[in-house]
A and B are shown apart, each in its own frame.
Chain A
Amino acid sequence: MLPTVARPDAAVDATTLMKSYPGVQALNRVDFAVAPGEVRALLGKNGAGKSTLVRILCGAEAPDGGTVRIAGRAVDMFTPRHARALGIATVHQELSLVPELSVAENILLGRWHRSRRGGFIARQALEREAGAVLAAFGVAIDPAVKVRTLSIAQQQLVEIARGLSLQPRVLILDEPTSSLPASEVDILLRTIRALSDRGVAVIYVSHRMDEIQRIAHSVTVLRDGRHIETRPIAHASTAEIVRLMTGGPDAAASGPRGMRPLGDVALKVRGLTTAKLRSVTFDVRAGEIVGLAGLLGSGRTELLRAIYGLDPVVAGGIAIFGREPAGRSPRAMIRQGVGLAPEDRKKEGLVLDMSIAANLVLAAMHKVVHRMMLSRHRQAQLSQRTAARLSIRLARPSDLVRTLSGGNQQKVVLGKYLNADVKVFLLDEPTRGVDIDTKRQIYALLDQLAAQGTAVLVASSEVEELMLLCDRLLLMKDGGIVDERIVAQTSLADVMAIAMDGAHEAGMDGRP
């Protein structure tokens, strides 16, 4: 049911919004209205204007022109505090929790006075109130524990619970499920439906079509800062939405994968054991793309970190092209031709306040050294070439990496290792928070690298992505490899089933 008819007054109504940044018209006369109780999916490529629209609605930025009405009242002050007071709650993609505080303290952050007793925080009252929010949300997290001790998925649920505790009129969720395993996504989607039934308008920014099909009443697609179309979900197939987002008829979700000849064993892992890994053994050949599938916490990230020498190894070892690495530090690994593009590119992948060029040569500075000195000329040449090869758009090499979109930042991380002549590429969630178009470019790049003889080991929480990208999948559970599949001989459902219950017996249709 579309509630638009029953409740004609929009919960949030933005008209002819304009916003520009130097060189970019981020929003161009965008109209956007959501009715109470409506769940609206907001889609668009990076740079389409989604983030800008969300930032304006949650008060983080003021528009250059146009009006925003919340429940019929025009908004004149654009501050996060004002937006909250008007009943807009926002859950951002990036977590903003205080790790050393308890779950309860985080959920009620800034509103402790409500359970204050004579200047002291009444812990029990706080935990009771937070516990009630979590219970209504259907999440079993102890409100007394410190956020630091929670998994990332749990932390995200706490973040969402905080948004809900404000009893909002409008809830904005910016890629809320990007780090949630399926079971927790279900909890979230159920909660969204319940909120919608209670008349809360939900703006759901996501790239995940399956979720959108399940909960959204309608979808809005933005492209190049313009409102392209808003339509009921019944008339929005995946292919159709992809077409609206890209503006072209090219809606094919997967390109044909060329057959690549496999070379020698590039990465050999034997009995690798750490605090979080149980005797992992596998090979990756030159020219092969191998995927690590499994639920969050299954050990995908930990395996990549252990190979790269970031976590202490208890037993077992690795060999790169038949040779045991001389040292077990990132520096030694890069010298051996191994590079790790980490999951959190802002925290571990990039120096945000350095230029694109400086980041692109960060792992290979020796290449731009001339007579003991860094040569600006060589750096400019190399980074220009790399930026072009990666099609990093709307940027000059001297711009700060901070100014790039998520997808382009990820390209810079990849480019950094390309410049270091990496022969074994370890990638952790390489397309997290990246738009569909950039995803495809990254897939094409990895495919091209593999064709040139690079071995690629990629961990991802999106099995669809691994099916699209990889030749072979390793299925992980509880720090060990529980199964293996040749992608061409298996199905998504098969892999998902194994990943979700770690079953060994599901090998009916997969194994040769």
Chain B
Amino acid sequence: MTIRMMISSAAERPAAPRWFGRLEGEISGLLAALILVSVLAALFAPNFATTGNLLDILRQAAFTGIIACGMTLIIVAGEIDVSVGSAIAFSSALFGILTASFQLPLWVAALGVVAFGVAAGAGAGAIRAYFNIPSFIVTLAMFSALRGAAMLMTDAIPVPILDEGFQVWGNGTVLGLPVPALILLASVAVFTVLAACTVFGRSVYAIGGNADAARLSGIPVKRIRTVLFALTGGLAAISGLLMTSRLGAGNPNIGFGVEFAVITSVIVGGASLFGGKGSMLGTLLGGLFIAVLNNAMVLLGINAYAQDVANGIVVLLAVLVSTRAADWGRLRRRL
């Protein structure tokens, strides 16, 4: 067979290696936006550029950011999980009950909570994968059921957890950094590697890009979908434990709206709800962008409801910009 591999000259096309399409442009755009909003905040918002405040932003961003790592993969796979806010509440309530009513050691209870989060996620994922029910429906059911279960368990009353060692997880610092922020960075690191450098991650992108083609290529689509939801269930449980530690109580009334905050970070970070596209770095920047924006608005004394409006506008703008950029890019590279 003749070898006729004609490679167009490097001058004609950008040479950066691309594995999953065009992400670099969006990442740099997002980074620029983050820097811009940070500079503006530093100039105009009182006390923004202080170590304490910046660390606080990191801590606040961590609770949603940890879950956003898993959510990125779920959205890249073309799925959605709207149950994570309720999963946080359930984890917190369950932890309170296990430690207060069952007197379990804290670390045993924590392991149990995470194990339950993984199992519940795996269950949702399995229903999605094996019964072919849209993930929005499955997790919508979980959204309702987990919140209800959390309320039932605790009679809607927070269960105090008074252990100084445990409170370090939500409130303490290591090397000057808040513990949740460290856990966030660790999660981002692990999931970045998972997404970009493993067979599992590649399979997730392939399923999101074309599930039929992935299946015909021997990728275990059902198994991977199940694992995805298990991962996010586990992350939601971890985030729930950190919030419990931060608040000092197992509380069924927390986590309201977290699912949408998480999805917002992922979308602002450049992932496509149609699947096949998204990155951990984008999600991290997206989450930080929203955290900085909200923090600055608080410092400027802007009405809390106005912040919600601003968040809504940010999501729309981000998606518009990313869609236009994609159109333009496609036009440019069409042969």
Q: Kindly list chain B residues whose C-beta atoms are within 8 Å of the C-beta of A363.
A: 217-218
- Is B332 touching A22 in the complex (CB atoms < 8 A)? yes
User: Known contacts A23-B8, A352-B209; is A374 also within 8 Å of B216 by CB?
Assistant: no
Decide: A22 near B12, CB < 8 A? Known: A362-B206, A369-B199, A403-B333.
yes
CB-based contact B13/A391 at 8 Å: no
Contacts of B205 in A (CB 8 A): 351, 354, 358
Asked whether A21 lies within 8 Å of B19 as measured between CB atoms, the reply is: no
Q: Which of A335, A348, A396 is the one whose CB lies under 8 Å from B216?
A: A348
Q: Which of B192-218 contact A (CB under 8 A)?
A: 193, 197-199, 202-203, 205-206, 209-210, 212-218
Contact pick for B3, options A357, A391, A404, CB 8 Å: A391
In the assembled complex, A448 has its CB within 8 A of some CB on chain B = yes
Q: Mark A341-385, 1 if CB is under 8 A from B, else 0.
A: 010000111111111011000110110010011101000000010
Option from B1, B20, B218 in Cβ contact (under 8 Å) with A358:
B20
Indicate if the CB atoms of A351 and B276 lie closer than 8 Å: yes
Is there an interface contact between A400 and B1, defined as CB atoms closer than 8 Å? Answer: no
- Look across to chain B and name the residue whose beta carbon is closest to the beta carbon of A376: B17
A334 touches B20 (CB 8 A): no
Task: Report A-chain residues with C-beta under 8 Å of the C-beta of B335.
Answer: 21-24, 26, 47, 394, 403-405
Judge whether B220 is part of the interface by a CB distance below 8 angstroms: yes
Contacting residues, chain A, for B21 (C-beta < 8 A) = 353-355, 400
B219 sits at the interface (CB 8 A): yes
Report whether B199 and A350 are in contact in the complex, using a CB–CB cutoff of 8 Å.
Answer: no
- Residues in chain B near residue A347, CB distance under 8 A: 210, 212-213
Decide if B7 touches A331 in the complex (CB within 8 Å): no
Which A residues are in CB contact (< 8 Å) with B225?
Answer: none
- Selected from B4, B213, B216, the residue in CB contact (under 8 A) with A391 is B4
- Please give, as numbers and ranges, the residues of chain B lying within 8 Å of A47 by CB-CB distance: 335
Q: Please report the C-alpha to C-alpha distance between residue A441 and residue B4 in the assembled complex, in whole angstroms.
A: 11
For residue A60, give the distance in angstroms from its CB to the closest CB of chain B.
11
> What is the distance, in angstroms, from B211's C-beta to the closest C-beta of chain A?
9
Tell me if B8 and A396 are in contact (CB < 8 A): yes
CB pair B198–A352 under 8 Å, yes or no, is no
CB pair A393 B217 closer than 8 Å: no
User: Bound state CA distance, A441 and B330, in angstroms?
Assistant: 29
Taking the closest CB of chain B, its distance from the CB of A117, in whole angstroms, is 36
Chain A neighbourhood of B209, CB < 8 A = 351-354
Query: Do residues B199 and A420 form an inter-chain contact, with CB atoms below 8 A?
Result: no
Name which residue of chain B comes closest to A342, CB basis: B216
Pairwise interchain contact B206-A354, C-beta atoms closer than 8 A = yes
The answer to whether B18 and A355 have CB atoms under 8 Å apart is yes
Chain A residue at minimal CB-CB distance from B2: A391
B310 CB to closest chain A CB (Å) equals 32
Interface membership of A209, Cβ < 8 A: no
Q: Determine if A389 and B217 form an interchain contact, defined as CB atoms under 8 angstroms apart.
A: no
Query: A340: CB under 8 A from chain B?
Result: yes
Contact of A331 among B6, B8, B219 (CB under 8 A): B219
Chain A residues with Cβ below 8 Å from B330 are: 402
The interface size bin for chain A is 35 or more
B262 → A minimal CB distance (Å): 24
- B5 on the interface (CB 8 Å rule)? yes
List residues of chain B with CB within 8 A of the CB of A331: 218-220
B199 and A365 contacting across the interface, CB-CB below 8 Å: yes
Closest to A369 in B: B199
Which residues, 290 to 347 on A, are CB-close (under 8 Å) to B?
308, 310, 330-331, 333-335, 340, 342, 347
Q: Mark interface residues in B10-33 (1 if CB within 8 Å of A CB, else 0).
A: 001100011111000000000000
Q: Is the CB of B213 within 8 A of A350?
A: yes
With a cutoff of 8 Å between Cβ atoms, the chain A residues found around residue B218 in the complex are 330-331, 333-335, 363, 420
Q: Which residues of B contact A405 (CB under 8 A)?
A: 335
Decide: B213 and A444 in contact? CB cutoff 8 A. no
Contact B198 A373 (CB under 8 A): yes
Query: What is the CB-to-nearest-CB distance from A198 to chain B, in angstroms, rounded to a whole number?
Result: 36
Number of A-B contacts (CB under 8 A): 133
Question: Does B334 belong to the interface (CB within 8 Å)?
Answer: yes
B12 contacts A372, CB within 8 Å?
Answer: no
A445: CB under 8 A from chain B?
A: yes
For residue B98, give the distance in angstroms from its CB to the closest CB of chain A: 34
Q: Once the chains are docked, how many angstroms separate the CA of A144 from the CA of B220?
A: 40
Within the assembled complex, what's the spacing in Å between the Cα atoms of A349 and B219?
13
| Bound form: Cα–Cα A362–B221 in Å | 13
Chain B residues positioned under 8 Å from A373 (CB to CB): 193, 197-198
Q: Does B128 touch A at the CB level, under 8 Å? A: no
CA of A451 to CA of B92, assembled, Å: 64
- Nearest CB on B from A502, distance (A): 30
Contact status A355-B5, CB under 8 Å: no
Q: Report if B147 contacts A (CB, 8 A).
A: no
Q: Is the CB of B19 within 8 A of A355?
A: yes
Q: Does B59 contact A (CB under 8 A)?
A: no
In the complex, per-residue mask of A489-509: 1 if CB is within 8 Å of any chain B CB, else 0: 000000000000000000000
Cross-chain contact B3 with A365 (CB below 8 angstroms)? no
Chain A contacts for B3, CB-based, 8 A? 388-389, 391
> Which among A310, A333, A366, A388 is the interface contact of B199 at CB below 8 angstroms?
A366
- A445 CA to B1 CA, complexed, in Å: 7
A352 and B210 in contact (CB under 8 A), knowing A366-B199, A394-B8, A448-B1? yes
Closest to B9 in A: A23
Contacts of A448 in B (CB 8 A): 1
- In the assembled complex, which residues on chain A have CB atoms less than 8 Å from the CB atom of B198? 372-374
Known: A22-B335, A330-B217, A393-B4. 12 other contacts (CB 8 A): A331-B219, A334-B218, A347-B212, A348-B210, A351-B210, A353-B21, A365-B202, A372-B198, A373-B197, A391-B3, A444-B1, A445-B1
Could you write out 29 A-B pairs with CB less than 8 Å apart?
A21-B335, A23-B12, A23-B335, A47-B335, A308-B216, A310-B216, A330-B217, A331-B218, A331-B220, A335-B218, A348-B213, A349-B213, A353-B21, A353-B209, A353-B276, A355-B21, A357-B19, A363-B217, A366-B199, A376-B19, A388-B5, A389-B1, A391-B3, A392-B5, A394-B8, A400-B333, A402-B330, A420-B218, A448-B1
7 closest residue pairs by CB, A with B:
A351-B209, A334-B218, A331-B218, A363-B217, A362-B217, A348-B212, A373-B197
